Structures are given as C-alpha cells and as structure tokens.
Amino acid sequence: MRLTLDRLSKHFKNKIAVDQVSAELVPGVYGFLGANGAGKTTLMQMICGIIAPTSGEVLLNGENNVLMGERFRDLLGYLPQEFGYTPGFSAKDFMLYVASIKGLDPRFARRKTNELLSLVNLEDAANQKIRTFSGGMKRRLGIAQALLNDPDILILDEPTSGLDPKERAYFRNIISEMSNGKIIIVSTHIVSDIEYISDQILIMKKGKLILQGAAETLIREAEGKVWTVTVPQKEWIIFEARHSIVNSHNQGAVVEARVICPDKPSENAIPARPTLEDLYLLYFADETEKEDDPRCEGE
C-alpha cells in the first residue's frame, strides 16, 4: 500500500493554505508537525477527500482518492480537529450510529463497538450520555469511532486535544500497538505526541513541507544550535527579548536557561544535546520571538 501526495496545493481567497506538498507514505506512523495555521488540517482534509485541492492530487496505489469514491472511504478512518457528536446519544449508541453510516454489518458493529470502547477506556461509560462526558472522554470517543471500520489509513488531526498527560501516554501506546500494516497520520503541534511513535516526521510551516525524516535524523539539524546558559538576573530581560528560550529557571541572582541560537549566545554558554522540541523551536522561533537578534535568526 502506498499513499502519494503529489504536489498538493490549496488556495483560498486571500491565502495559500497548502503549497506544493509532496510525500510518499507506506505503512507506518507519520507525524505531521507544525504550528497552528501551518496548513495541517487543510492537508488532512484533502487526503480524506473532504475538500478538493486547487492543484495536485492524492493517490492510493496510483489511483486518485476522489475518483475511488467509496472504495477509498472504506479504507479510511478519520478524527477531525473539531469532532462533532450527538449529545443525547450514549457512547454505545453513537458508535452504532456511526457504524450504520459506514455501512458496517450490525453484528460486526456491536462487537467492534464493545472492543473499541474498552480500548479507549470508556467501557464503564458506554451507556452514559455524551453530553455528560469530559473533554478528554469525548476525544477518546472520537478516536474509537475513527477505528470502527478497522481502517488501513487512519488520520488523526490534533488527537490529544483535551487529554491529560496520562491519557496522552495511553493514546501513544494505542497508536504504536496498532500501527502494523496501516498508514497512520497524526497531525499535531505537540512534539511529545509523535516524537517516539513516528517512523517519519514531516514538519510543515506556512503551508510548505520543510523537513521530513526519522526523528533522530532531523534532530541533527539542531546540533550546535542548542545551549545552556547562566545569565545574571539584572541582564535577563534583555537576554530573553533577544533569544529563543526553550525553558528557564530563576535561581535568584541568576537565571539558568536553555537557548536556541545558531551562534554561541554568551561566553559561558555550553552546547546541549538537541531534542525534537529544540528543532521545532529552531524553525518556528520567528513566530514567537518578541524581538529579533541578528545572531539568532533561524536558518
């Protein structure tokens, strides 16, 4: 199975949301990483066939996804960023309703519903009205409905929104366990969601695909650009304004900080081992920095 994104672009009236994105996806887990507004959701919707591209196409084993119609949708599971539900339904009723829309056999749907509600830890709430659910429970229900037809292609857009850290860890374990033989796409702006479960990470910025590769390979891009530094408290405000700070710890007379900068930011700066979060901040620092410093511009 091969899913091809062939020069996909989507133009809206005053904006290019996705700009000439190309990629080849085979079974495995793919993390699409980017800031809010990077074009990830638009790209996911084009892959699903929800919106038509302005140019380019999505191909499954050489066939256009839109022209495949039901054959493509039968292979697809999708959790949108904004997950809609019917508040008066119970979790079980909602799952069976979605199964009927997907045309699943009723006996299979009942068995699969029980299995999936157990998988996402909602078996005890199966008969509870969705309107009583917490945000995390609704998100877990959304993940379950995306898996109802045992899809070969699973697309999850910001799947951990509303989940607490324990639920997010459990979600990552689910994805890792079920990835064999499937193409799984996780679109997120949260680095930890995909850092350890993705076979490939694809980084999007302003509609373009700017990096793709295994996490350990991409992280090398940040080598020599991550530093730990100690700054006197009286100099901290100016230093913070001029640099991309990953994190900082106030120690009273000094501030200890982790800094992203292509050049050594101060005399006492010590090189640090980069992480995927450092790489992310390196490429997206221009969207968060309060004041540019020519020494610390992203490349």
What residues in the chain have per-residue pLDDT under 50?
288-299
- Last residue of a domain, which of 215, 237, 263? 215
Q: Are residues 132 and 242 in the same domain?
A: no
Pairing of strands 254-260, 226-232: antiparallel
Q: Are residues 184 and 246 in the same domain?
A: no
Which is nearest to 184 in space by CA: 218, 160, 157? 157
| pLDDT at residue 31, rounded to an integer | 96
Length of the chain counted residue by residue: 299
Q: Are residues 135 and 283 in the same domain?
A: no
| pLDDT at residue 287, rounded to an integer | 63
Q: Are residues 53 and 196 in the same domain?
A: yes
| pLDDT at residue 172, rounded to an integer | 86
Alpha helices (runs of H) in 87-198, residue ranges in sequence order:
91-101, 106-119, 135-146, 165-177, 191-194
Domain span at 290? 220-296
| pLDDT at residue 292, rounded to an integer | 38
Q: Are residues 173 and 255 in the same domain?
A: no
| pLDDT at residue 96, rounded to an integer | 96
| pLDDT at residue 294, rounded to an integer | 39
Give the list of residues 6+ apart from residue 100 with CB closer than 8 angstroms, or none.
106, 109
Tens-digit pLDDT profile for residues 242-258: 999 999 999 989 999 99
Tens-digit pLDDT profile for residues 59-105: 999 999 999 999 999 999 999 988 788 888 999 999 999 999 999 99
CATH of residue 167: 3.40.50.300
CB atoms within 10 A of CB 220: 11
Q: Are residues 67 and 210 in the same domain?
A: yes
CB atoms within 10 A of CB 228: 14
Give the list of residues 6+ apart from residue 222 with CB closer than 8 angstroms, or none.
260, 274, 275, 278, 279, 282
- For 31, the 3-state DSSP assignment is strand
Q: Are residues 141 and 282 in the same domain?
A: no
Chain centroid to Cα 3, Å, comes to: 18
Q: Are residues 258 and 195 in the same domain?
A: no
- Last residue of a domain, which of 193, 215, 237? 215
Q: Are residues 202 and 263 in the same domain?
A: no
Q: Are residues 135 and 54 in the same domain?
A: yes
Q: Are residues 76 and 210 in the same domain?
A: yes
- Last residue of a domain, which of 215, 248, 276? 215
Q: Are residues 142 and 249 in the same domain?
A: no
Tokens describing residue 11? 């133009």
How many domains in the chain?
Answer: 2
